[in-house]
Amino acid sequence: AQKVTQAQTEISVVEKEDVTLDCVYETRDTTYYLFWYKQPPSGELVFLIRRNSFDEQNEISGRYSWNFQKSTSSFNFTITASQVVDSAVYFCALSEAGAQKLVFGQGTRLTINP
């Protein structure tokens, strides 16, 4: 069975600090996809990134970066120079190839204080 664990339930930092959100996953599939979504107070899940199991390259998009390591089954998300607008609940998710069925972690509530 697939499982995603986000051990950090809540994180609170001061603006401009860097913050890393951890994600550990379990799957028996050799081909799978990993995702990060952001859920602001409005409730809508906003897609941030998709990574497939064959692509271990790290990715940077502005202040956001992702570190995928198959050896440790982790897909961590770092926000550099955090801003108040980054405050939200962040979800890591996993799906097997070919199945439109996401397994979500419990989410990490990130609060950025001014």
Partner 1 sequence: KAGVTQTPRYLIKTRGQQVTLSCSPISGHRSVSWYQQTPGQGLQFLFEYFSETQRNKGNFPGRFSGRQFSNSRSEMNVSTLELGDSALYLCASSWDLAGGPWYEQYFGPGTRLTVT
Chain residues that interact with partner 1, rule: CB under 8 A = 33, 35, 37, 42-47, 50, 52, 91, 93, 95, 97-107
The distance of closest approach from Cβ of residue 104 to partner 1 in the complex, given in angstroms and rounded to an integer, is 4
The distance of closest approach from Cβ of residue 17 to partner 1 in the complex, given in angstroms and rounded to an integer, is 27
Among 79, 54, 51, smallest CA distance to 65 is for 79
Across the chain, how many H-helices and E-strands are there? 0, 12
The distance of closest approach from Cβ of residue 74 to partner 1 in the complex, given in angstroms and rounded to an integer, is 19
Q: How far lies 24's CA from each of 13, 14, 16, in Å?
A: 22, 25, 26
Which residues are registered as beta bridge partners of 98?
none
Shorter beta-carbon distance to partner 1: residue 52 or 83: 52
Shorter beta-carbon distance to partner 1: residue 13 or 45: 45
Contact 48, 23 (CB under 8 A): no
Shorter beta-carbon distance to partner 1: residue 82 or 91: 91
